[in-house]
Amino acid sequence: MAEDIKKSLSGNTSYSTIELYSICEELTGDIEITIDEFNEQCKKDKLLERIERCVKSVVDSANWKINDVNYVLAIGGTCSIPLVRNTVSKIFGKDKVVGPSFNTYTSVVKGAACRAHQLSINKEADITQVMPYTLGFGLVDNKYDVFAPKGTKLPIVFAGCYSNAHDNQRIIIIPIYKGEGKKTNEEGMELVTSAVITGLPPGLKVGDFNMVYLTIINTSGLVEVKIIKADNGKFLNQMKAFVNLGFDEDMLKKIQQHLEPYIKNSE
């Protein structure tokens, strides 16, 4: 129902009618939701702020500035909502957003067709899988140490040196976070997985216990981290996680099914 209302108010209509019977068989009659009510709810839900953050993230990840963008194709049905379209226009400039005659619903299909045509002409075209978001280790004081920046080509191999952060520390928790923030406690940051190192010797001073995190992310989205002692290479622990690199649902399930036996057998 919400989708139907969105589509209805994405056109030139000023209101959308809801038949109460469609909500509950015991109800009769209908109610109207006006475009002003719809826009007000979008603002209350902070939709416009989320759009602005998303746009900024995309532009920043490409190392661009807003003025570097020549044209904007508003892709997807949500971009047909006047409030959303106006927000995008304010960010980039009205003249840069392709006009409403451009079909937001079929543009993805058109793009796929164009890409297929390019590949059929150039058999050597190189399609490289890249990280769709940033991964990093969580450190003391909510610090975020990135090992897989957004936009980096896969596979990724990383080796980082770390040590205990406190005197007399007997346990170390090593978390992996996903997100574009500067700190692990910022909005939008998400914990992916973690490993625990126990049995540290007593009497340690800060920086006495040194470790190396050997990290690999393959093109299927499997993240493997092996933690070893820096001075003698002794194995301490490992963690594995599967992260979605932007595959559709069907492909994601197939990859997970393929990798699950490997992850279980290697634990």
pLDDT in tens, 111-130: 777 667 666 655 444 445 78
- Contact by Cβ (8 Å): 144, 133: no
pLDDT in tens, 17-73: 666 666 666 666 777 778 788 888 888 888 889 889 988 888 887 788 888 888 888
3-state secondary structure (DSSP) of residue 141: helix
The pTM score is 0.50
- Contact by Cβ (8 Å): 135, 148: yes
Tokens standing for residue 127: 């399609």
- For 222, list phi and psi in degrees, rounded to 5: -85, 120
Residue with tokens 């020549």: 70
Positions of CATH 2.60.34.10 in the chain: 135-266
Measured distance CA(177)–CA(201) in Å, rounded: 28
β-sheet bridge partners, residue 16: 33
C-beta atoms surrounding 20 within 10 Å: 13
Tokens standing for residue 19: 């038949």
At position 223, the amino acid (one-letter code) is V
Measured distance CA(150)–CA(153) in Å, rounded: 9
pLDDT in tens, 139-160: 999 999 999 999 898 899 999 9
The CATH label, of 3.40.50.740, 2.60.120.460, 2.60.34.10, 3.40.228.10, for the domain at 135-266 is 2.60.34.10
